[in-house]
């Protein structure tokens, strides 16, 4: 048995913690982010436009989203916050400037231009009491249809399979639901908008949903196998739809990249080099794949990092200081922003700025309370 598999087995046999299993986190209460308001975000007067390039992060440790100025020349980066609901997780922003934020209480709608919450849409699915922490019920992954007419949110139902809820962006109501895997960490949409993909962390799968018919297809994604079940660390977390061909890219442990063709259900595995537990992922406009390494789960693992993988498969691994969760990249593919929130312990209230050209060292900026989801406005 390898060191990695031995460590995973020991963790499964012991107390199931971190992202390995499903024990609710009850010891930590949400910390209110400073300068939060359900109306206009303080620090950014409503009469002023939100600057282009401002970051919006979901404050998983609080009840807010925070607007962040990434300019290193400025001393103050966390500009102000808007109340959205308990433990916000993922977020997505449309071309109209509306942000859709998955919280434990519903999907909040934030006008990022006016910096106000304009709605909060309750889930159709019953998820139990509103709680905080990694295993709380409610929305996790969230995505927007290419035409902007639908929002898709993966809803975690503690102890059961999850649900994909479909929201009409015009009426701001849940119109349909479809069953998906357990704890849908991530939700993605095909380039033509005809399928939605929910990554089931605790069920080792991706569920493809036809939003028109609600028909589903399940693909097991388990390059290490499913041994250990809920106690396994070797599960899928986040996926990326490759723009060039619509295939799904799912990184595992800085060692393996699963390339899944959702049309056939077939997958191949490619080698990765970071050798660290991995969570968030995205692609840059130039086709570069970015993957967040959260840190070691076995004695031979390496520390936190950001993998920068070129379309030809060559990789550069950028070390990071402490665990991180998700990542966004600028339109010019030159800068990545990595959230320090992390779904497990060890998080920080910051975003790390990574120069993808390699000319400058990464540096941190303050950014709300335990930031997870991130978008660039």
What pLDDT, in 10s, does the model give residues 316-357?
999 999 999 999 999 999 999 999 998 777 899 999 999 999
CATH number at 100 reads: 2.130.10.10
Q: Does pLDDT of 8 surpass 80?
A: no
Q: Which of 370, 340, 344 is nearest to 16 (CA)?
A: 344
3-state secondary structure of 225: coil
Q: How far apart are CA 358 and CA 341, in angstroms?
A: 24
pLDDT tens readout for residues 90-127: 999 999 999 999 999 999 999 999 999 999 999 999 99
CB 271 within 8 A of CB 280: no
Q: Does pLDDT of 184 surpass 90?
A: yes
Q: How far apart are CA 29 and CA 136, in angstroms?
A: 12
**Span 1-21, mean pLDDT?**
47
And the tokens for 79?
């500009």
- What's the domain count of the chain? 1
| Predicted TM-score (pTM) of this structure | 0.91
Q: What pLDDT score was predicted for residue 279?
A: 97
Buried b (16+ CB within 10 A) or exposed e, 257-286: bbebebeeeebeeeebebbbbbbbbbbbee
Which structural domain range is residue 199 located in? 3-376
Q: How far apart are CA 145 and CA 130, in angstroms?
A: 28
Greater model confidence, 212 or 342? 212
3-state secondary structure of 6: helix
Q: What pLDDT score was predicted for residue 42?
A: 52
């Amino acid at each position: 048995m390898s060191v990695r598999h031995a460590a995973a087995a020991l963790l499964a046999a012991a107390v199931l913690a971190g992202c390995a299993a499903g024990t609710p986190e009850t010891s930590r209460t949400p910390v209110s982010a400073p300068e939060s308001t359900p109306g206009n975000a303080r620090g950014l007067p409503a009469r002023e436009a939100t600057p282009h390039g401002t970051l919006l992060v979901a404050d998983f440790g609080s009840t807010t989203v925070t607007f962040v100025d990434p300019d290193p020349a400025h001393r103050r980066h966390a500009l102000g916050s808007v109340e959205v609901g308990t433990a916000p997780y993922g977020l997505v922003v449309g071309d109209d400037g509306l942000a859709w934020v998955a919280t434990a209480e519903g999907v909040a709608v934030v006008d990022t231009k006016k910096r106000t919450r304009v709605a909060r849409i309750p889930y159709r699915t019953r998820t139990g009491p509103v709680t905080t922490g990694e295993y709380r019920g409610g929305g996790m992954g969230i995505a927007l249809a290419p035409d902007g007419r639908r929002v898709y949110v993966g809803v975690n139902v503690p102890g059961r399979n999850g649900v994909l809820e479909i929201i009409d962006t015009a009426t701001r109501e849940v119109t349909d639901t479809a069953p998906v895997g357990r704890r849908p960490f991530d939700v993605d949409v095909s380039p033509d908008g005809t399928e939605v993909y929910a990554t089931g962390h605790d069920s080792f799968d991706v569920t493809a949903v036809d939003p028109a018919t609600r028909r589903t297809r399940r693909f097991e994604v388990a390059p290490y196998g499913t041994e250990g079940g809920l106690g396994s660390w070797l599960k899928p977390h986040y996926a990326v739809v490759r723009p060039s061909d619509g295939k799904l890219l799912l990184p595992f442990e800085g060692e393996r990249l699963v390339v899944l063709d959702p049309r056939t259900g077939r997958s191949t595995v490619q080698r990765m080099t970071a050798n660290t537990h991995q969570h968030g992922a995205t692609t840059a406009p130039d086709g570069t794949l970015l993957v967040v390494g959260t840190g070691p789960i076995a004695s031979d693992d390496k520390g936190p990092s950001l993998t920068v993988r070129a379309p030809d498969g060559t990789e550069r691994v950028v070390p990071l200081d402490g665990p991180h969760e998700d990542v966004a990249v600028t339109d010019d593919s030159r800068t990545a922003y990595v959230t320090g929130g992390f779904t497990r312990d060890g998080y920080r209230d910051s975003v790390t700025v990574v120069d993808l050209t390699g000319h400058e060292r990464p540096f941190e900026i303050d950014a709300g309370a335990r930031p997870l989801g991130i978008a660039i406005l």
